[in-house]
Structure 1
Amino acid sequence: MVREDLYITVPSFFRCPISLDVMKSPVSLCTGVTYDRSSIQKWLDNGNNTCPATMQVLQNKDIVPNHTLKRLIQIWSDSVNTLSDSSSSDSPPSLSKEQAQELVKEIERDDCSNQFDSLSKIICFASELEENRKFLARIDGFLSVTVNVLCNAGEELRVLERVIRILELILIDFEDKEKMSRLLSNSDFLSSILFVFQQGSLNSKIRSARVLELIAFDAESKLTIASNDAVLSELVNSMTSNSDSNLNDAVLSCLVSVTLPKRTRSKITKLGVVQKLTQKLGDPNSTVTIIEKSLKLLEMVSMCTEGRTEICDDPLCIPAVVQKLLKVSTASSEHAVVILWRVCHVFRDQRAEEAVTKSNGLTKILLLMQSNCSGHVREMSSDLLKIFRVNSKSCLSFYDTKTTHIMPF
């Protein structure tokens, strides 16, 4: 039950100037004004060439993700959720830094029966200010104390969820990477995170994926996380057709982070990640961010032989990739071109070439070359056109890829 006296004030700069709702995917125009991606995209798709807030004529229609604002909105949203979760009882009073430091010592001494309340107070303290989070991160031994609770709480889910929340808050500002790397030396660490991911609330699942992404900061930590088959399998399998978009976003970010090593790319391919990503690309409810990250992960998978084979074996994958060319964002178009270049130009798979042709991929590649794409994307697009110029029996066989405009057919 939500308390009747719990009123939430939304900071004005968190609201989209068009929809007036809290922004889910904030992006900025060349005028410097930030909007929610879905709202400004509809405005631009309707043929408008001005900034809705300033009415300035746009020099270009590029939209740039505002990652800083998105993170601030996420922190604020999580703080609101924390207050809502504890709304059945009186909110604990704000702590001073000295009280927070003393509370850390109490957590180290207490057993699970008392730790829950102490951890909840620490979360409220950390959620209030960025300065508080940095203060906690600097407390000598705080990270070790928190991880010890995580590894020794067994199946006390509510305690584990509180610890995951604290880790998500402080690891962002944690500067001692050597201490972070030691987290994975405890064999129970990943097992506890996996338990929360499997049994916890939706918010806890999302936070668990974020914690994994935060600690995957170097090659060794990425390999350690990926070597845990249960964790990797759970992440891939969580991307179902009816899973929450925020969970999908967090899981995709985590998988992109840990999939850098070659052996991991092969592992997630065998776990069926290509089919999962194809579903995300074909889902009309997928957000721009999810599409971009799906294509990014698919691009990484296409770097290994197993990944390229799976992409070519899946009859829906190449058409789904082609569909996202010039349709979503500059980033998604670039990821899509790299994928097509690898399977068609490097791997020379006949099925992939036919799938591109049947999906009207040639026209889209031509249009992409006429756009303001980067030099390496233009070069890869040219390589693709040379393949189809030789193989195609259409009039595209005579198209000179050095031209700077599209000739009428």
Structure 2
Amino acid sequence: MMILSWRRRRGGHRTTKAAFSEENLSTNLAIPTHFLCPISLDLMKDPVTLPTGITYDRESIEKWIETGNQTCPVTNQVLKTFDQIPNHVIRRMIQDWCVENRARGVERIPTPRIPVAPRDVLEICSNIMTATQRGDHKKCMELVEKIKRWGRESERNKKCIVENGSGYVLSALFESFSSISIEEHKFLLGETLSLLIRMLPLGSEGQSNLGSASSLRCMAWFLKEKNLSSCQNAVLALKELLGLDEKHVNAFAEIEGVEEALVKIVKEQICPKSTKASLMVISHLISSSTSSENTISRFLELGLVSMVLEILVGSERGMTEKALSVLDTICNWEQGIVKARAHALTMPVLVKKILRVSILATDLSVSAILKLCKSQEGGGDQQVEALQLGGFHKLLVVLQVGCGEKTKEKATELLKLLNQHRGRLDCFDSSMDFKYLKRPSL
């Protein structure tokens, strides 16, 4: 027997029972040594036995194996197999001991759930494929719900599910039923998508399934739905998918109404995660090499510039970077420059973000300002405004800090443009000479 002081842990157990007096909680208890895990020396909650015959707490021995160890910690024997057999006898003995000592502050350890094994996942994946091929909605729903229950039980289960081919199988299910009828199978499709976003990025076959015409139409349909959970899952999946292959971007852009749905998510700001994802999807759509003027025109008509600038006024770093990326991409288009130039906040916000948020934010701000200042119509006015807002001095600092070479080249080009107007503005000393500025490389 081993004498240890048993004290109830805060936060992990109930503390309101009248029978648990302070005196009882601090009473020393005789804990049998074989109830303790040889690794953690804590009372075992889920005892399992290795092929060497030694019993450990499952969590402790799994951590031991996951860190690369291939031996039994006690016997030092090399493990030919990592099979862990639940030791029900020891577990029941521990539970009985807890019950016997409950008056002294000990709570009964619950019977642990057996974790999912790779063979379990492979079996359910096989069943899903069979049910999908038959078009058996009810059976597929039953199996998807079972996977969700497994995932909720532990992180270990989630990892096992992801590592054993479930992503491809679920993406095939999603493609198959979305091609039949989205409306009829919307609940199954929504539940499946909620699982898939936890498995991204998928392999090439899974990406192909999720990027098919029917799958993309289904996700676009979810974007327009009032169900916030399905909407969020769809935009998160699209963010990952569209960033992997431009052909998915082009296919998604052809679906009617996606611009309105994405702008609505940005406008309503359901949650930061969804807003960021929507901004990234929009950025993919307007930056694609095959983007049409109709796509950018539609986004501009929906007020995208104003919404992005409102976000930039007071958002945290991640959101600011996503919004700046969209604004910089908008300025690749002449009609985008016209819209951006017409908004009173554009130049003040861009100048303010230089050196204020992150290196990426500075890069994007300098890039957008240069595009505005070089535009054929109104570029001169933008240059003067940038000067008046203190942009010249900020750009001088950009040359001295750790920004990338491309950003420094853009900053140098901008300084040369702004320098043409400095003599007309009282805020600059006309005796300053900027001849040292190097000409940007082409």
Which TM-score applies when normalising by structure 2?
A: 0.62
Per-residue deviation at 1:367? 2.3
Q: Which residue of 1 aligns with 2:128?
A: 104
Partner SS state of residue 355, structure 2: coil
Match 1:208 to one of 234, 239, 248 = 234
Asked if 1:184 is matched to 2:223, the reply is: no
Per-residue deviation at 1:248? 0.8
Asked if 1:400 is matched to 2:433, the reply is: yes
Q: Distance in 2 between matches of 1:274 and 1:238?
A: 15
Q: Distance in 2 between matches of 1:308 and 1:204?
A: 34
1:278–1:385 Cα change, 3 Å: same
Q: Distance in 2 between matches of 1:138 and 1:244?
A: 26
Per-residue CA deviations over 1:317-356 (Å, capped at 9, x if unaligned) read 2211111111000000000000001110344523322332
* Alpha-carbon contact 2:178-2:218 (below 8 Å) kept: yes
Q: Which residue of 1 aligns with 2:395?
A: 365
1:159–1:381 Cα change, 3 Å: same
Q: Distance in 2 between matches of 1:163 and 1:364?
A: 49
Q: Distance in 1 between matches of 2:400 and 2:192?
A: 51
Q: Distance in 2 between matches of 1:210 and 1:178?
A: 14
Per-residue deviation at 1:362? 2.2
Q: Which residue of 1 aligns with 2:346?
A: 317
Per-residue deviation at 1:227? 1.9
Partner SS state of residue 298, structure 1: helix
Per-residue CA deviations over 1:124-169 (Å, capped at 9, x if unaligned) read 4567334522422576x65322222234341554323212113323
Which TM-score applies when normalising by structure 1?
A: 0.67
For 1:206, the aligned partner's letter is Q
1:377–1:400 Cα change, 3 Å: farther
1:291–1:379 Cα change, 3 Å: same
1:101–1:134 Cα change, 3 Å: same
Q: Distance in 1 between matches of 2:267 and 2:411?
A: 32
* Alpha-carbon contact 2:217-2:255 (below 8 Å) kept: no
Per-residue deviation at 1:307? 1.1
Q: Distance in 1 between matches of 2:303 and 2:262?
A: 11
Correspondence 1:70-219 to 2 at 5 A:
94=116, 96-105=120-129, 107-108=131-132, 109=134, 111-125=136-150, 128-137=157-166, 142-151=170-179, 152-154=181-183, 157-176=186-205, 179-180=208-209, 183-186=211-214, 189-199=215-225, 201-216=227-242, 217-219=244-246
* Alpha-carbon contact 1:180-1:215 (below 8 Å) kept: no
1:214–1:125 Cα change, 3 Å: farther
* Alpha-carbon contact 2:174-2:189 (below 8 Å) kept: no
Per-residue CA deviations over 1:7-44 (Å, capped at 9, x if unaligned) read 8xxxxxxxxxxxxxxxxxxxxxxxxxxxxxxxxxxxxx
Structure 1: gaps of 5 or more residues: 1-6, 8-90, 405-409
Per-residue deviation at 1:228? 1.9
Q: Which residue of 1 aligns with 2:259?
A: 232
Q: Which residue of 2 aligns with 1:277?
A: 308
Q: Distance in 1 between matches of 2:337 and 2:146?
A: 49
Per-residue deviation at 1:107? 4.0
Q: Which residue of 2 aligns with 1:80?
A: none
More contact order relative to length (CA 8 Å, sep ≥ 6): 1
The answer to which structure has the higher helix fraction is: 1
Per-residue CA deviations over 1:372-397 (Å, capped at 9, x if unaligned) read 22222222112212222111323355
For 2:432, the aligned partner's letter is Y
Q: Which residue of 1 aligns with 2:84?
A: none
Q: Distance in 1 between matches of 2:430 and 2:405?
A: 23
Per-residue deviation at 1:118? 2.2
Per-residue deviation at 1:302? 0.8
* Alpha-carbon contact 2:172-2:209 (below 8 Å) kept: no
Structure 2: gaps of 5 or more residues: 1-11, 13-112, 438-442
Match 2:326 to one of 294, 297, 300 = 297
Partner SS state of residue 344, structure 2: coil
* Alpha-carbon contact 2:135-2:177 (below 8 Å) kept: no
* Alpha-carbon contact 1:277-1:294 (below 8 Å) kept: yes
Rg larger in structure: 2
Q: Which residue of 2 aligns with 1:352?
A: 382
Q: Distance in 1 between matches of 2:355 and 2:217?
A: 42
For 1:195, the aligned partner's letter is W
Q: CA RMSD in A?
A: 3.1
Partner SS state of residue 293, structure 1: helix
* Alpha-carbon contact 2:122-2:165 (below 8 Å) kept: no
* Alpha-carbon contact 2:162-2:199 (below 8 Å) kept: yes
Q: Distance in 2 between matches of 1:220 and 1:211?
A: 15
Q: Distance in 2 between matches of 1:215 and 1:303?
A: 23
